[in-house]
Amino acid sequence: MQIAKQAAELTAQGIGRTYGDFHALDDISLTIGRGEFLTLLGPSGSGKTTFLMILAGFDRPTSGTLFKDGADVTRLPAEKRAFGMVFQGYALFPHMSVEKNIAFPLQIQGQSGTQIQSRVDDMIDRVGLRGHEKKRPADLSGGQQQRVALARALVFGPSVLLLDEPFSALDKNLRGSMQDEVRRLHQETGTTFVFVTHDQSEALALSTRVAIFNQGKLQQVASPRDIYERPANRFVAEFLGDINILPLAGAAMNGNGAVARCGEQQIRIASAAGAPTAHLAIRPEHMALSTERPAAGNVLPVTIEAVTYLGPMTRFAARVDAGPSLVLETPTHATTPNLVPGSHAWVSWKEEQGYFL
Amino acid sequence: MRDILKPALLVGPLLLFLAAAYVVPFLGVLSWSFTLPEPGLHNYANALTDELILSVFLRTFRICLFVTVFAVIAAYAIALVWVRGTPAQRLAAEVCILIPFWISVLTRAFGWVALLSNRGLINTWLTQLGVISEPLTLVRNEFGVILGMTHFLVPFAVFPIASAMRSLDERVLLAARGMGASRARTFWQVFLPMTAPGVLGAAIIVFVFSLGFFITPAILGGGRSVMAAELIYLRIFQSPNWGLGAAISVLMMVVVGLLLGLLMRYARPKSMLS
Ligand SMILES: Nc1ncnc2c1ncn2[C@@H]1O[C@H](COP(=O)(O)OP(=O)(O)O)[C@@H](O)[C@H]1O
Ligand SMILES: [Mg+2]
């Protein structure tokens, strides 16, 4: 069942927000499609909350325009936008029961008692809070409070749901199950979701698209796969987990790809890696480590500096001879035991797995 | 074991001081009430049957109730400005809250007399403006006492209310507004209930404090609306009937104790303390 009356499309055009001389947001342009699940991802202080508050109408941009379904809503106050919002820290009404919290937005809309009761009942079932209706928020666990906040934000069928770091206070296991829950609610309601997090794996797991923020600037908007595998710049590449960056010399196009030198070794790079630059980026899990020189792919000689056992994976720190230090992760079952600190080895990767930065 | 003993050692002197300053004198007063002028319950029998004494009790509770209601309402408004106003408004509120602490209770009581008496500023102005022909009786009655006491107690009520307002999570208000609630509705259904523990705390402070008021009612009541503390004073220093004065004191303590007990029991002490 679709409980959203209609999912909305939001377009930000050159949105800026300054505090004195400080640019909390700088020229953000972005379209959030109908029914999309967009995640705003960035380090703390990068402007995610500020942008979300502007989308919600709790804050006004100092420059730029915000459109909802093509209409300018930049100056429309929050109470007229009627977006659902889940705040950091939940912001439940502590003096009201679970039921009353969820009923609050419906009462404001002036719905009849029976209508309110049936919608609240439906919502309580959807988020799995049956049996807790009469409790106060203080008597619930963190995960349950989170569910109340979700129910309260979705019960009136908002055209957009905004979520500000909703899971940051939950432990890791609970976080996983709440992520599943949010994904299910997104599918069931069909509403446009805008989700803020500073956790990159959460962003990759949930979203249809991810928007990366840093220092008030939008760095890249793309699907999780493209963000991870084709980051637009070094910040995005490094923010989404470990990455190895190799200095290149004499990079040039060559047939359907490019060639370059890294130290003594000749490196081949596939055409999808972009225009040649002086740096090649490769994710740690795309690199292999062996004691014998592999016959195929790009290879570099290294010295092992550290080995860390992580259960299913083993992590190596390895220094390219007279070059940069690399991080590698290989499946533990495929790791040879004689790769110990101080030993010499070869790293290798396929030519389509590196890209220019 | 040492973890328990250490704080006990640190707090010990304070406990000794409190015992010396409050408990011992109170036990003395308690024993007077049963032994002066001769042993027996006659002082309590007198206090609970004497019409004059009962009327003073009744008046004391009536005045304290009005003072509590007015002081808490005024304090709520001031705290609201102090916590949520513009910077200029905050400063103004802060000055209004702090200045009364620098002016003695006597000065303030006489200040009210100067304003309210028959030949005081207010009556003089109103007469000159032709609004009234006879001066209004604004002082030497319950009105004057309630006004003076309310004025004195408002700043004390501001602090617990303001602290409740400060600890309120701003995002809860944003949440209500975001769901379409008007400012008025957000105030009545969210802000006020969430700050209610502070209001209750303020009301208890004001009520208990006002029960023992002496100087303000003595000056602004002009001997016509005697309250319990003044009555105790009269019985001990003027009549002198120490036993009866002591019995009245003990009865007041019992009433305060009962009131606090009731509030703690029925007004969710958990939320009051947090
Ligand atoms: N009211 C404010 N006054 C001044 N600076 C602010 C204010 N609100 C936010 N900022 C600044 O704007 C930047 C972005 O903040 P925010 O949007 O909360 O970041 P995020 O949610 O990504 O952690 C921060 O550097 C923060 O200090
Ligand atoms: Mg934030």
- Alpha-carbon distance B163 to B225, whole Å? 35
Is the pLDDT assigned to residue B273 strictly greater than 60?
no
Beta carbons of A58 and B179 less than 8 Å apart = no
Backbone angles phi, psi at B38, to 5 degrees: -140, 160
The model's confidence at residue B78, banded by pLDDT at 50, 70 and 90, is: very high
Q: How many CB atoms neighbour CB A184 within 10 A?
A: 12
Q: How many domains does chain A have?
A: 2
Is the pLDDT assigned to residue A173 strictly greater than 60?
yes
**Is A300 contained in some domain?**
yes
DSSP class of residue B136 equals: P
Hey, is the C-beta of B20 within 8 angstroms of any chain A C-beta?
Answer: no
Distance A47 CA to ligand 1 centre (A): 6
Over chain B, what is the mean pLDDT? 88
DSSP A169-205: TS-HHHHHHHHHHHHHHHHHH--EEEEEES-HHHHHH
Pairing status of strand A298-309 against strand A313-320 = antiparallel
The CATH code of the domain that includes A21 is: 3.40.50.300
Up-side HSE of residue B94: CA atoms within 13 Å toward CB?
9
**Shared-domain flag, residues A229 and A251:** no
Nearest to A93 among B172, B178, B182 (CB): B172
Question: Which of A79, A148, A152, A165 has the most B C-beta neighbours within 10 Å, making it the best mutation to test the interface with B?
Answer: A79
Contact between B235 and B187 (Cβ < 8 Å): no
Is the pLDDT assigned to residue A357 strictly greater than 60?
yes
Hey, is the C-beta of B172 within 8 angstroms of any chain A C-beta?
Answer: yes
The domain boundary, picked from A213, A239, A265, lies at: A239
With a CB cutoff of 8 Å and minimum separation 6, the contacts of B211 are B60, B64, B228, B229, B252, B255, B256
Distance A210 CA to ligand 1 centre (A): 20
Report helix, strand or coil for B96. Answer: helix
Report helix, strand or coil for A107. Answer: helix
- Does the CB atom of residue A64 touch ligand 1 within 6 A? no
Segment A262-267 shows an average pLDDT of 84
Contact between A323 and A309 (Cβ < 8 Å): no
- Alpha-carbon distance A302 to A347, whole Å? 7
Segment B66-87 shows an average pLDDT of 96
**Shared-domain flag, residues A229 and A196:** yes
Q: What is the pLDDT of residue A306?
A: 92
Q: What is the pLDDT of residue B134?
A: 86
**Shared-domain flag, residues A131 and A116:** yes
Q: How far is B199 from chain A (nearest CA, A)?
A: 15
Q: What is the pLDDT of residue B261?
A: 85
Q: What is the pLDDT of residue A174?
A: 83
- Alpha-carbon distance A133 to A148, whole Å? 10
The domain boundary, picked from A191, A216, A239, lies at: A239
**Shared-domain flag, residues A58 and A199:** yes
Segment A62-82 shows an average pLDDT of 93
**Lowest-confidence range among A192-201, B3-12, B103-112?**
B3-12
Segment A160-178 shows an average pLDDT of 88
Alpha carbon distance, N-terminus to C-terminus of chain A: 45
- Can you say how many angstroms the Cα of residue A335 is from the centroid of all Cα atoms in its chain? 31
Report which of residues B91 and A262 the model is more confident about: B91
Report helix, strand or coil for A214. Answer: strand
Q: How far is B20 from chain A (nearest CA, A)?
A: 42
CA dihedral sign of residues A101, A106, A107, A109:
positive
**Is A124 contained in some domain?**
yes
Q: What is the ipTM of this complex?
A: 0.77
Identify residues of A whose CB sits under 8 angstroms from chain B CBs. Answer: 56-58, 78-83, 85, 87-89, 91-95, 104-105, 108-109, 152, 156
Q: Quick one: which of A226, A250, A261 has its CA closest to A240?
A: A226
Q: Quick one: which of A174, A184, A223, A181 has its CA closest to A203?
A: A223
The model's confidence at residue A241, banded by pLDDT at 50, 70 and 90, is: confident
Contact between B167 and B159 (Cβ < 8 Å): no
Segment A276-298 shows an average pLDDT of 87
The model's confidence at residue B268, banded by pLDDT at 50, 70 and 90, is: low
Beta carbons of A105 and B179 less than 8 Å apart = yes
- Does the CB atom of residue A25 touch ligand 1 within 6 A? no
The domain boundary, picked from A239, A265, A281, lies at: A239
**Shared-domain flag, residues A231 and A140:** yes
Segment B230-259 shows an average pLDDT of 88
- Alpha-carbon distance B123 to B129, whole Å? 10
Pairing status of strand A279-282 against strand A244-247 = antiparallel
pLDDT, tens digit, 9 for 90 and up, residues A117-150 = 999 999 999 888 999 999 999 999 988 999 999 9
Segment A23-35 shows an average pLDDT of 95
Report helix, strand or coil for B72. Answer: helix
The model's confidence at residue B272, banded by pLDDT at 50, 70 and 90, is: very low
The CATH code of the domain that includes A251 is: 2.40.50.140
Q: What is the pLDDT of residue B166?
A: 94
- Does the CB atom of residue A50 touch ligand 1 within 6 A? yes
The model's confidence at residue B159, banded by pLDDT at 50, 70 and 90, is: very high
Segment A87-104 shows an average pLDDT of 94
Q: What is the pLDDT of residue B265?
A: 74
Distance A45 CA to ligand 2 centre (A): 7
**Shared-domain flag, residues A209 and A275:** no
Tell me which residue range forms the domain holding A216.
Answer: 10-239
**Is A5 contained in some domain?**
no
**pTM for this entry:** 0.80
**Shared-domain flag, residues A26 and A169:** yes
CATH architecture of B51-273: Orthogonal Bundle (1.10)
**Shared-domain flag, residues A169 and A277:** no
Q: Quick one: which of B49, B222, B72 has its CA closest to B138?
A: B222
